[in-house]
Amino acid sequence: MYVYGRARRPCRRCRTPIQVARQGTDLPRSTYWCPTCQPEPAARELRESRGSGRR
């Protein structure tokens, strides 16, 4: 695993610090990612992948 458990440490691929986000309150979960190698999808891409909700 390239990023799991590596919060704030450099990405093994690009050396950017790994980010971590905590999720949920009942079942604590953490998501780790490299913001350079795994950028957030653009808002438009999210809408298209989820559908616009309009019919």
CATH code at 22? 1.10.8.50
Q: What is the pLDDT of residue 6?
A: 92
**Whole-prediction pTM value?**
0.65
Residue 54 has pLDDT above 60, yes or no: no
pLDDT of residue 49: 67
Task: Give the residue numbers spanning the domain of 34.
Answer: 1-47
Q: What is the pLDDT of residues 13-53, one digit of tens each?
A: 999 999 999 888 888 889 999 999 988 776 666 566 666 55
The count of structural domains within the chain is 1
Cβ pair 32, 20 in contact under 8 A: yes
CA 21 to each of CA 5, 47, 48, 49: distance values in angstroms, whole numbers, following the listed order: 11, 22, 24, 22
Domain membership flag for residue 55? no
**Distance (Å, rounded) from C-alpha 37 to C-alpha 25?**
28
pLDDT on residue 53: 57
